[in-house]
Chains A and B, each alone.
Chain A
Amino acid sequence: MGNQHMRHYRAHRPAPQPAREKPKASLSRRAIRYMGGFLLLMALFTLLSRAADGLTIPQVALAYPSKGTIDRTMTGFGKVEELSAQAVTTEPGLRVAGIGVKPGAVVEQGAPLFTLDAADLEDKLAQAREMLQRLDMDLQDRASRESLSAQDQARALQRANEDYAAAKSSGDKEVERAAKTLNEAKAKLNAAAPPAGELSALEAACAQTAEKLRLAEEELTRLQNELEEKVAQARKEAEEAQEDPDQREAQVREEYQPRLDEAGLQADAARQEKASADNALAAYTEASTQLQLLRDSVDAAQQNYDRAVESRENALRSASRQVEDAQRPQAQDSSGKKAELDREHQAQQVARLEALVKDGGVVRAPCSGTVTGVSLTVGMPTPDGTALLLAGEANGGVFTAQFPVELEKYLSPGDEAVIKLGSGRPPIEGLRLETVTVSPTDSGLLDVTVRPPEGVLAIGTAAELEVRRKSEEYPCRVPLSALHEDNGVYFLLVTQEKAGLLGTELTASRRDVTVLEKNETMAAIQQGDLDWGQGFLAASAKPVNTGDRIRLEVP
C-alpha cells in the first residue's frame, strides 16, 4: 500500500525547479562593502594602536621634595688597641749599667726600669757643665761687644753732625763774602757804564762828518778839474784868438777863485768836524777800555761767588752723607738669641743629668703599665729616642677603626658612634669619635678612634664601628632614585605638558639641579631648582628618558 502511494507520488510530483543563481554584486556595491570593512578595520586598529601606545607609555609616580636631614651611616672595621703607649726616653749617649725589666713586665709608677753607669754619668755631667760655662762666657762677650758697638755708632753720629754744622757755617761765610765782592764790582760797573746808544751816536757822527768831508773834497776836486779844463780851453781859445793865454788863464782863474776858496773852506770845515768826531770817538773808546776792565772784575767776582756756592754745597753734601752713614741701622743679628737658646738647652741638659746623678742613675717608670718594648743593651750607650715603651692599662684602651679616606668630610670628632660586636652581643652605644686622622700606613684609609667604657672590651677585640652623622636640615630633599646624572650634571625629570595630535600629553622634561649633599637614599638639592609645588618623576616601571611621553599613576 505504501509503495503504491510512493509510486503515485513519484509519478505526479511536480518537476523540481532549477536553482536560482544569486545575482553577482556590482563593483560599486562591492566597493561600498569594502569601504565598510575598511572602516571596521580602521576602528579595530585604532583600538589596537591605542592599547599598544598605552602599554608602551611608562606610567610614573610623581613625588615632591621633602624637608629633612641627610643622615649618613658609615661603618668601618677595627679593633681595640692599648690606650697609651708611652715612650720612656733619657739622655742619649749614656752607658747603660743594668736593665731591670723585660718586655711584658708590668710596672708601677716610679719603679726602676734601667740604671745608667755612674762614672759615665758624672763625666757627661761635667762636660755639660763646662759647655754651659763656655756658653755663658760667650754670651757675656757678645753683650760687651754689642755695647761697645753701640757707643761707637753714637759717637760717629755725633761727629758727623758736628762736621756738618761746621761745613755749613764755613760755606755760608765764603758765599757771603763772594756775594759782597760781586755786588761791589757790579755797582762800579753800573756807575761807569756810559748811556746806552752813545757809541752808536759817535760812530754815526764820524760817518757823517767823513761823508761830508768826502763830498767837500770831491767838490773841490771837481772845481779844480773844471778850472783846469776851463783854463785849458781858455788858453786854447786865446791862442786861437791870438790873445794872451796867460791873461785868459788868469781871468778864468780869477773867476773860479771864489768858488775854489769856498769849496776849500767847506772842505776845511768838514775836515775839522771829522777830526772832532774822531776825537770824541777815540775818547769814548778809551773810556770803554776802562769799562771792560770793570766788567772783567765783575766776571771774576761772579766766578768766585759760584765757586764759593759750589764749594759750600759739596761740603754740605759730604757732611750730610756722613751723618746718614752714622744713622744707618745695624743689620739684624740673631746669633745672640741663638746663643741664649743654646745656653738654655744646655742648662736643661745639665739639669737632667744632675737629676739622674742625684737619683743614682736610675730611670723610673713615669706611669703604671706594661713594658712593650726595650731598645737598650747593657754596656751600650742609650739611644737618641725611645729607650723603652710602656703601654697603658691591660683592659680598656681605644677602639680604632678604618674608613675610606673619601669619607673624611663626613667624619669629625664628636660624631655619634656605635660599636657592634656581633655574636649576639649587645652593641655599645653612646660613643663619640675622638680622632679622625689619615692612616700612617695607608693614605687611602682613615684611622677613626673612639674610647669604649673601661672594662668592657679587651685589648685586641675586633668589632664594627658604625658612625651616624646627621647633617643640617635641608628644605629640599629628593630620593636618590629620582636623581639622574649626565656628564657630571645632576638632573631630575619633571612633567611638561605638550599639545600633541592626541591632545595634551605629558612628557618628561629635564631640570638640572645642584646637589648639596647626598647619602645612599636621599639627596639634598638647592632650593629654587624646582618650582614651588612642582613634582618630579620618582618611580617608573619602565626607564624614562627626557622627551618621553608619560602617564601619571592615579593615587
Chain B
Amino acid sequence: MIVRISGEDQYRLDDSAAARLNELENAVAAIVDGGSEDGFSDAYAALLDFVRSQGQTVGDEEIESSDVILPPSDLTFAEAGREFTGEGLIPD
C-alpha cells in the first residue's frame, strides 16, 4: 500500500500496517468530531510518524499513485474539520 503525506513524500507500507493506520486515523477523527482541539496535533503527528517510520520512501523516479493521501503535517484543527465536512483542502 502506498501512502502519501501531502507536501512530503510517498511511502510504501506493508498491507499489515493498514489496521494500525486505521486506528490512528480514527483517533484523529474522534478528536475532530469532538470539536475540542485538545490532543489534535499530537494525534495527527502520531499518524504521520507511523507512516514515516513504518514506510519506505518511494523514489522520485518511480511513478506511482497513492492508495491513501494524508493532508500536510501543518494541518490545523479547523482545516481537519473542513476535510470531514467535505469542503476539503484542495479547491476544485
Question: Do A and B form a real pair?
Answer: no
Question: Contact residues of B with A, CB < 8 Å?
Answer: none
